[in-house]
Chain A
Amino acid sequence: MVTSDARGSIAAVVVFAVSLLLVAGSAPPWCVIVALTCCGWRLLTATGRVARPKPRRGLRFALGAITALLVIAVAASFRTLNGLAAGTALLVVMGALKVLEARSRRDDAIVVAVALFLVLAASLGGQALWRAPIYLLVICGACMAFALIAHPGSALTTRAALRLSARALVMAIPLAVACFLFFPRIAGQFWTLQQGGAATTGLTDEMSPGSISRLAAEYDPAFRVRFEGTPPLRAALYWRGPVLNSFDGFTWRRTGSWVYRAAPLDLLGDPVRYRVSLEPTNQRWMFALDTVDASPRRGVFMSHDRQLTAPEPITNVTSYDAVSHLRTRSTGPMTALGRDYETRLPEDRNPRALALAREMRARAKNDADYVHAMLDWFRNNGLEYTLEPGTTSVDSVDTTLFDSKRGFCGHFASAYATLMRAAGVPARVVTGYLGGEWNPAGGYYIVRQSEAHAWTEVWLDGQGWTRVDPTAVVAPERLQRGVYEMLAGSLPATSTYLHNTRWINRLSLLWDGVNQWWQDRVVEFNLRTQFDLLRSLGIDSPRWEHLGWAFALGMMAWIAWVALTLRRGVARVKPDRIGRAWLRATRKLARVAPPRAANEGPLDYAERIAMSRPDLAVPVKALAVQYARLRFGPAANAADVASLEREVRRLAV
Chain B
Amino acid sequence: MRLRRRVAAWAKRRQGDDHLPFAVSSRRVYILPTRGGLALAALLLVMLLAGLNYSNSMAMLITFLLAGFALIAMHLCHRNLVGILVRGIGSVDAFAGEHARLFVTLENSADSTRIGLECATDDSELVLIDVPPDATARADIPIELPHRGRFPIERIRISTAFPFGLFRAWTWVHTPMSVIGWPVPRGRRESPPEAASGGNAPSVVRGGDEEWAGLREFRDGDSPRQVAWAAFARGRGLMVKTYESPAAHHRIFDFARVPGGDVELRLEQVSAWIVAAHSRGERYGLRIDGRELPPDSGNDHRARCLKGLALHGSGEPW
Question: Would B22 and A573 count as touching, CB distance under 8 A?
Answer: yes
Q: Mark B1-43, 1 if CB is under 8 A from A, else 0.
A: 0000000000000000111111111100000000010011001
Choice from B102, B116, B132, B224 contacting A156 with Cβ under 8 Å:
B116
CB interface residues, B 31-84, toward A, < 8 Å: 36, 39-40, 43, 46-47, 50, 52-62, 64-69, 71-73, 75-76, 79, 82-83
Question: Would B58 and A523 count as touching, CB distance under 8 A?
Answer: yes
In whole Å, how far is B108's beta carbon from the nearest beta carbon of chain A? 9
Question: Would B83 and A573 count as touching, CB distance under 8 A?
Answer: no
Question: Does B191 sit within 8 A of A, measured CB to CB?
Answer: no
In the bound assembly, the distance between CA atoms of A599 and B179 in angstroms comes to: 9
Q: Are A113 and B43 also in contact (CB < 8 A) when A169-B69, A566-B76 are? A: yes
Q: Are A168 and B50 also in contact (CB < 8 A) when A150-B162, A183-B60, A571-B83 are? A: no
The winner among B23, B55, B128, B177 for most chain A CB atoms within 10 A is: B55
Question: Does A498 sit within 8 A of B, measured CB to CB?
Answer: no
Cβ contacts under 8 Å, A569 to chain B: 83, 110
CB interface residues, A 550-601, toward B, < 8 Å: 558-559, 562-563, 566-573, 575, 583, 594-600
Question: Does A486 sit within 8 A of B, measured CB to CB?
Answer: no
Question: Would B175 and A598 count as touching, CB distance under 8 A?
Answer: yes
In the bound assembly, the distance between CA atoms of A113 and B102 in angstroms comes to: 38
Question: Does A132 sit within 8 A of B, measured CB to CB?
Answer: yes
Q: Are A146 and B110 also in contact (CB < 8 A) when A154-B115, A175-B71 are? A: no
Question: Does A21 sit within 8 A of B, measured CB to CB?
Answer: no
Question: Does A625 sit within 8 A of B, measured CB to CB?
Answer: yes
The winner among B18, B73, B164, B238 for most chain A CB atoms within 10 A is: B164
Question: Does B233 sit within 8 A of A, measured CB to CB?
Answer: yes
Cβ contacts under 8 Å, B238 to chain A: 625, 629
Question: Does A349 sit within 8 A of B, measured CB to CB?
Answer: no
In the bound assembly, the distance between CA atoms of A109 and B40 in angstroms comes to: 10
Cβ contacts under 8 Å, A136 to chain B: 65
Question: Would A155 and B130 count as touching, CB distance under 8 A?
Answer: yes
Give the contact stretch, choosing among B85-93, B195-203, B252-260, B267-275.
B85-93
- Residue ID in chain A nearest B65 by CB atoms: A176
In whole Å, how far is A596's beta carbon from the nearest beta carbon of chain B? 8
In whole Å, how far is A159's beta carbon from the nearest beta carbon of chain B? 13
In the bound assembly, the distance between CA atoms of A621 and B238 in angstroms comes to: 14
In the bound assembly, the distance between CA atoms of A301 and B124 in angstroms comes to: 71
Q: Are A139 and B62 also in contact (CB < 8 A) when A147-B164, A175-B71, A559-B71 are? A: yes
Contact-size category for A: 35 or more
Question: Does B165 sit within 8 A of A, measured CB to CB?
Answer: yes
In the bound assembly, the distance between CA atoms of A595 and B18 in angstroms comes to: 11
Question: Does B176 sit within 8 A of A, measured CB to CB?
Answer: yes
- Residue ID in chain B nearest A524 by CB atoms: B57
Choice from B62, B110, B317 contacting A123 with Cβ under 8 Å:
B62
Q: Mark B143-176, 1 if CB is under 8 A from A, else 0.
A: 0000000000000000001111110000000011
Q: Are A124 and B50 also in contact (CB < 8 A) when A523-B57, A598-B20, A607-B221 are? A: yes
Question: Does B243 sit within 8 A of A, measured CB to CB?
Answer: no
Question: Would B116 and A599 count as touching, CB distance under 8 A?
Answer: no
The winner among A173, A179, A634 for most chain B CB atoms within 10 A is: A179
Q: Are A120 and B50 also in contact (CB < 8 A) when A150-B161, A168-B73 are? A: yes
In the bound assembly, the distance between CA atoms of A175 and B68 in angstroms comes to: 6
Contact-size category for B: 35 or more
Question: Does B136 sit within 8 A of A, measured CB to CB?
Answer: no
Task: Tell me the dominant secondary structure on chain B's binding face.
Answer: mixed
Cβ contacts under 8 Å, A599 to chain B: 89-91, 102, 177
Cβ contacts under 8 Å, A455 to chain B: none
Question: Would B61 and A595 count as touching, CB distance under 8 A?
Answer: no
Cβ contacts under 8 Å, B50 to chain A: 120, 124
Q: Mark A165-203, 1 if CB is under 8 A from B, else 0.
A: 100110111111101100101100111000000000000
In the bound assembly, the distance between CA atoms of A558 and B72 in angstroms comes to: 10
Question: Does A143 sit within 8 A of B, measured CB to CB?
Answer: yes
Question: Would A135 and B58 count as touching, CB distance under 8 A?
Answer: yes
Q: Mark A608-648, 1 if CB is under 8 A from B, else 0.
A: 10111000000001001100110011100000000000000
Question: Does A116 sit within 8 A of B, measured CB to CB?
Answer: yes
Cβ contacts under 8 Å, A161 to chain B: 163
Question: Would A600 and B59 count as touching, CB distance under 8 A?
Answer: no
In the bound assembly, the distance between CA atoms of A174 and B318 in angstroms comes to: 61
- Residue ID in chain B nearest A555 by CB atoms: B71
Question: Would A185 and B21 count as touching, CB distance under 8 A?
Answer: no
Q: Are A180 and B61 also in contact (CB < 8 A) when A562-B71, A621-B220 are? A: yes
Cβ contacts under 8 Å, A154 to chain B: 115-116, 128, 130
In the bound assembly, the distance between CA atoms of A570 and B102 in angstroms comes to: 26
- Residue ID in chain A nearest B75 by CB atoms: A566
Q: Are A171 and B83 also in contact (CB < 8 A) when A123-B56, A180-B60, A599-B89 are? A: no
In the bound assembly, the distance between CA atoms of A154 and B47 in angstroms comes to: 32
Choice from B21, B76, B232 contacting A633 with Cβ under 8 Å:
B232
Q: Are A139 and B66 also in contact (CB < 8 A) when A117-B43, A147-B163 are? A: yes
In the bound assembly, the distance between CA atoms of A596 and B113 in angstroms comes to: 32
Question: Does A522 sit within 8 A of B, measured CB to CB?
Answer: yes
In the bound assembly, the distance between CA atoms of A168 and B102 in angstroms comes to: 36
In the bound assembly, the distance between CA atoms of A166 and B163 in angstroms comes to: 12
In whole Å, how far is B307's beta carbon from the nearest beta carbon of chain A? 10
In whole Å, how far is B238's beta carbon from the nearest beta carbon of chain A? 6
Question: Would A155 and B115 count as touching, CB distance under 8 A?
Answer: yes
Cβ contacts under 8 Å, B21 to chain A: 573, 575
Question: Would B72 and A171 count as touching, CB distance under 8 A?
Answer: yes
In the bound assembly, the distance between CA atoms of A621 and B46 in angstroms comes to: 67
In whole Å, how far is B85's beta carbon from the nearest beta carbon of chain A? 6
Cβ contacts under 8 Å, B36 to chain A: 106, 109, 146, 150
In the bound assembly, the distance between CA atoms of A634 and B25 in angstroms comes to: 32
The winner among A524, A525, A573, A600 for most chain B CB atoms within 10 A is: A573
CB interface residues, A 532-564, toward B, < 8 Å: 558-559, 562-563
Cβ contacts under 8 Å, B218 to chain A: 625
Question: Does A215 sit within 8 A of B, measured CB to CB?
Answer: no
Q: Are A632 and B175 also in contact (CB < 8 A) when A113-B39, A156-B163, A176-B64 are? A: no
In whole Å, how far is A102's beta carbon from the nearest beta carbon of chain B? 15
In the bound assembly, the distance between CA atoms of A61 and B47 in angstroms comes to: 33
Question: Does A90 sit within 8 A of B, measured CB to CB?
Answer: no
In the bound assembly, the distance between CA atoms of A179 and B54 in angstroms comes to: 17
Question: Would B59 and A124 count as touching, CB distance under 8 A?
Answer: yes
Question: Would B89 and A598 count as touching, CB distance under 8 A?
Answer: yes
Question: Does B139 sit within 8 A of A, measured CB to CB?
Answer: no
Question: Does A526 sit within 8 A of B, measured CB to CB?
Answer: yes
In whole Å, how far is B226's beta carbon from the nearest beta carbon of chain A? 12
In the bound assembly, the distance between CA atoms of A612 and B318 in angstroms comes to: 10
Question: Does A49 sit within 8 A of B, measured CB to CB?
Answer: no
In the bound assembly, the distance between CA atoms of A255 and B50 in angstroms comes to: 39
In the bound assembly, the distance between CA atoms of A583 and B57 in angstroms comes to: 61
Choice from B68, B79, B128 contacting A176 with Cβ under 8 Å:
B68
Cβ contacts under 8 Å, B109 to chain A: 571
Question: Would A568 and B68 count as touching, CB distance under 8 A?
Answer: no
Choice from B52, B163, B221, B232 contacting A603 with Cβ under 8 Å:
B221
- Residue ID in chain A nearest B42 by CB atoms: A113
Question: Does A119 sit within 8 A of B, measured CB to CB?
Answer: yes
In the bound assembly, the distance between CA atoms of A522 and B39 in angstroms comes to: 28
Choice from A147, A168, A598, A629 contacting B177 with Cβ under 8 Å:
A598
Question: Would A606 and B175 count as touching, CB distance under 8 A?
Answer: no
Extra 20 A-B pairs, beta carbons < 8 Å, given A113-B43, A123-B56: A117-B43, A119-B62, A120-B46, A123-B58, A124-B50, A127-B58, A155-B130, A168-B73, A168-B76, A172-B66, A172-B67, A172-B71, A173-B68, A180-B60, A597-B175, A597-B177, A607-B220, A607-B221, A610-B220, A634-B229
Which A-B residue pairs are the 5 nearest by beta carbons? A172-B68, A150-B165, A598-B175, A175-B68, A179-B64
7 contacts between A and B (CB under 8 A): A127-B57, A149-B165, A168-B76, A172-B72, A598-B177, A603-B220, A604-B221
